[in-house]
Chain A
Amino acid sequence: EAGVVQSPRYKIIEKKQPVAFWCNPISGHNTLYWYLQNLGQGPELLIRYENEEAVDDSQLPKDRFSAERLKGVDSTLKIQPAELGDSAVYLCASSLGSPYNEQFFGPGTRLTVL
């Protein structure tokens, strides 16, 4: 079974430029998560989707970050404009959504903002 797929794996951009990350969850997983992982830190939840609905986006900086999950499958996370402090790994995870079901993480996208 294929795992969570993320692309690109690495991205280097200049500050103030836009950037987008793509995630394809495990087939059948209705819950999708985007996390931010700073160097040497644990992941921090940005947004959680149940199918197409964003049910928890309280930690998403909405002035520059946006996300969508069209048709309840793939998801895109966008930053516009990027700032130096956005340099981090952006992780996508998915689960079956029922309480206590395991979250499966993708390999992440490492973003460097110059």
Chain B
Amino acid sequence: QQQVKQSPQSLIVQKGGISIINCAYENTAFDYFPWYQQFPGKGPALLIAIRPDVSEKKEGRFTISFNKSAKQFSLHIMDSQPGDSATYFCAASAQGAQKLVFGQGTRLTINP
């Protein structure tokens, strides 16, 4: 019940396209859903986060869509750029941001 399942494992998108990564969870006590971006040799960095009182949050080219009834949330990257090539992790927490459970990660490659 503590798991967060992420898909796909890897994704290749053409420059300018839309990248979509999906996550699903079981624990209805989760109340914080962040997405992290990780470059090789670096630690994860927070990209965008959402709480379940809203269904969508947009920051620049990055949007989280949240479906509480389906227990699913997704990351959309619009106008994907080669610099977006990285590994993306969804996460969830039942105690604010203090105990994060991470998905397995998606390796995103943006082809120029």
Contacts and interface: CB of A to CB of B under 8 A. Distances in A.
Q: Give the size category of B's interface with A.
A: 20 to 34
Contact of A102 (B42, B43, B46, B103): B46
A42 B96 contact: no
Contacts, number: 60
B43 A100 contact: no
Contacts of A100: 32, 49, 51, 96-97
Contact of A95 (B6, B32, B51, B98): B98
A45 B44 contact: no
A42 B46 contact: no
A108 B38 CA distance: 12
27 contacts: A40-B104, A41-B104, A42-B6, A42-B89, A42-B102, A42-B104, A43-B89, A44-B102, A45-B99, A45-B100, A48-B99, A91-B44, A93-B43, A95-B97, A95-B98, A98-B96, A99-B95, A99-B96, A99-B97, A100-B49, A102-B97, A103-B97, A103-B100, A104-B45, A104-B46, A106-B43, A108-B43
Q: Closest 7 A-B residue pairs measured CB to CB?
A: A99-B96, A42-B102, A105-B43, A100-B96, A42-B89, A102-B46, A100-B97
